Structure 1
Amino acid sequence: MKGYKNPVLLILLVLAVDQISKFWVKLNMTIGQDFNVIGNKVLIHFIENNGMAYGMEFGGESGKLFLSLFRIIAVIGIGYGLHYMIKNKYNRGFILTVALIFAGALGNIIDSTFYGVIFSESNMYTKAVLFPDAGGYSSLFHGKVVDMLYFPLIDGRFPSWFPFWGGEDFLFFRPVFNVADSAISVGVFLILIFQKRYFKETKEEKSSLNSEIIED
């Protein structure tokens, strides 16, 4: 089990924060409700989506089922890759980064797979109930993903001379997302930024390990 401790702890931490935040929002807020954290720039804003990260949609009920099954297959693949990297002593930073992506993907899979079964419907007027007597709002694999992190940091208008959007209002950052989305985005960003270091150190570590084996 050597090498598994830190990645597993990171995965469990991300999942715990992600699911606790989603349960709290689902049980204590109505759809569209805001909770100001830092003025009007950092908010908890409850929405749900049927599709991908940051509120993007994908193809109705059949698309929702396909997306849920695709997520499960993808997370199995990432999990196997993570196991392979730990077993073959890849760069520790790279392993933790992949663990971050794995945790984020798994966090959203839990929503889309189980939330429709264990929660009642959330709407603008009533809060959801956990394990309602009448059953959940949907079937297995058709749950909605809970989003709540909203950072409308800059609100303004494009100047009239600006190409395409001149004179139109703009808002940065517009998407509403969750902890799982953040984990995936941070993981991908870290791989893009540090990929040379990750793969260089991985090659050096594997070469060192091979040398030790040959000497023994």
Structure 2
Amino acid sequence: MIKKSPLKFFILTLILILIDQGVKLAVHFYMAPGFAGQIKLVGDWLKLHYVLNPGMAFGMQLGYEYGKLLLSVFRLFAMVGIGYYLVHLAHRGAPDGLLWAMAMILAGAVGNVIDSTFYGVFLNNAPYGSPTPWFHGQVIDMVFVDVWEGFIPDWVPVWGGQYYSTPIFNIADSCIFIGVCMILIFQRRFFGGHTLEDGLLPVSGPDATQAEVVPMSELTDGEYAEKQVEKTNEELSKETSNDEKTSSSSEPVTLEEPKDEDSLSSDLKKS
């Protein structure tokens, strides 16, 4: 088992958290909310647009009095779980790509946890009527990819009949999205065949009592090639042994017949 230090991956997490919080605070202190403070970055489709998100991604909320509190506590536990899993993967020798993706997901989770936990107190942006400003802070969103807006058809559940535009998100949301996409796209490389250099290695050696026959269809490319080499070597050894048997059996063995007394006496006279 090749253990890896999770330090460099946590450093990436810290850098992304600082970028996320820096952008959010800059937007809060230097931009006006809504269309009044909107800033165009690339044409009419990429803009900075300051909005407050009281719920989850895309503005979804839990419709209970303490729904926001439950959401914040869930985010907190999810953050701790992702951090623990990152350390676990590093100690198991997981591929670097998987660890970088987990570091990005962790950064996004921590960034939004900071908003939910502290912004209601320090930025005073908790929704009106919140039982407490703690854990009721609203997440600051600002990245607006304006590619579509309009009314959603009435047959669509929950949002049907409402005016809607493409979601406005933040750096933390982007980190989570990119990390999840990396895992989905490269899942075969991350969780498929593993090498001694960067793959997930077993904690202990193979146990003969737990051996099982693996179908060829489930073998990875490296394992399949190794099986083919073993099969070729076995066929060559069988052919060599068969050739040796054939060569040894093809040589005729002649036995001299015993000579009688007359032939022996004639041989003695000749000598």
TM-score under structure 2 normalisation?
A: 0.62
The 1:54/1:206 distance shift into structure 2, 3 A limit, reads same
Task: Say if 1:203 and 1:54 are closer, same or farther in 2 by CA, change over 3 A.
Answer: farther
Does structure 2 conserve the Cα–Cα contact (< 8 Å) formed by 1:47 and 1:148? yes
SS in 1 for 2:33: coil
Distance in 1 (CA, whole Å) between partners of 2:27 and 2:201 is: 49
Structure showing greater radius of gyration is: 2
The 5 A counterparts of 1:109-128 are 109-121=113-125
Is residue 146 from structure 1 mapped to residue 140 from structure 2 by the alignment?
yes
Cα offset for 1:39? 2.2
Alpha-carbon distance between aligned partners in 2 of 1:39 and 1:74, rounded to the nearest angstrom: 37
- The reply to whether residue 193 of structure 1 matches residue 185 of structure 2 is yes
Uncovered stretches (5+) of structure 1, i.e. residues with no partner? 123-137, 158-163, 212-216
Letter in 1 for 2:68: K
Give the AA of the match of 1:200: G
* Cα 1:150–1:208 shift into 2, 3 Å: same
Does the residue aligned with 2:13 lie in a helix, a strand or coil? helix
Partner of 1:214: none
| Percent identical residues | 38
Does structure 1 retain, via aligned residues, the 8 Å contact 2:144–2:166? yes
User: Aligned with 1:51: secondary structure?
Assistant: coil
Aligned residue pairs: how many? Answer: 190
Output the CA distance in 2 between the equivalents of 1:72 and 1:42: 31
Superposed CA offset, 1:171-209 (max 9, x none) = 8x7100000001111111111111111012547534488
Secondary structure of 1:54's partner? helix
* Contact 2:6–2:86 (Cα < 8 Å) also in 1: no
SS at match of 1:47: strand
Aligned equivalent of 1:15: 17
Please give the alpha-carbon distance, in whole angstroms, between the structure 1 residues aligned to 2:31 and 2:120.
17
Q: What does 1:92-111 correspond to in 2, within 5 Å?
A: 92-111=96-115
What CA distance in whole angstroms lies between the structure 1 residues aligned with 2:124 and 2:27? Answer: 13
Higher RCO structure (Cα 8 Å, ≥6 apart) = 1
Distance 2:204 2:115 in 1: 43
Equivalence map 1:1-216=2 (5 Å): 3-32=5-34, 33-121=37-125, 139-153=133-147, 174-202=166-194, 205-207=199-201
Task: Please list every run of 5 or more consecutive structure 2 residues that lacks an aligned counterpart in the other structure.
Answer: 127-131, 206-271
Q: Is the 8 A contact 1:89 1:202 kept in 2?
A: no
Q: Normalised by the size of structure 1, how large is the TM-score?
A: 0.77
Residues 80-129 of structure 1 show CA distances to partners (whole Å, capped at 9, x for unaligned) of 1111111111111111111111110110000000001101349xxxxxxx
